[in-house]
Amino acid sequence: MLRWKGRVSPIEVNLGYWLHYVGYRISHELGLRTQKFGVTAAEWVVLRALYDKGAMPSHLAMRLGLTRGAISKLAARLEAKEMINREKSLPDRRAKMLTLTQLGRVLVPVLAPMADDNDARYFDRVGQGYRDSIERVMKWIVRRDRLRLVPPGQCLIISQFRYADTDSDGEGDGYG
């Protein structure tokens, strides 16, 4: 049996721990708010992503940074709740297209202010500079590690603010 003779650092010194901890708390609180409407926080994300236009599950998975399996499970739950439809894609009859039902389409504008309020509760008090920095660093990590496609623009709640974004190499990233 191998034994590590070095010092084991406390979990709290890992930034990843704090990102997970805060992210979990934010998602949990949002889930408590949306459950009144029969929707989990993860289901809300899928509903919101489909609000503007339908998508194939594989494209939705890439856009949201989720696995295809996770999208499949979320889609099955939302379909059972009659909030989305799975329809055959016209160009490729084998592919399925996910779209919102009338119920899903009505529900998104009801849930959106809850998500915005939840986000504001955690981030409004940190100040705009910190918000911009947090967002910029998160998007930079996502792009650097190709974790998913980063959509252009800023988070909805800070879209009215502009900032000069500069990477470590001094190049702007076009997301500001």
Phi, psi of 93 (to 5 degrees): -60, -15
Between the CA of residue 125 and those of 113, 130, 133, what are the distances in Å? 18, 10, 14
119 and 155 share one domain: no
Angle at 136 between CA 114 and CA 147, to 5 degrees: 85
Residue 88 inside a domain? The answer is: yes
pLDDT in tens, 107-166: 999 999 999 999 999 999 999 999 999 999 998 998 888 876 555 555 543 333 333 333
How far apart are alpha carbons 79 and 26 in whole angstroms?
A: 25
- Pick from 137, 135, 111: which is nearest to 37 by CA? 111
101 and 131 share one domain: no
Residue 4 inside a domain? The answer is: no
pLDDT in tens, 76-85: 999 999 999 9
Percent of the chain with pLDDT strictly greater than 70: 78
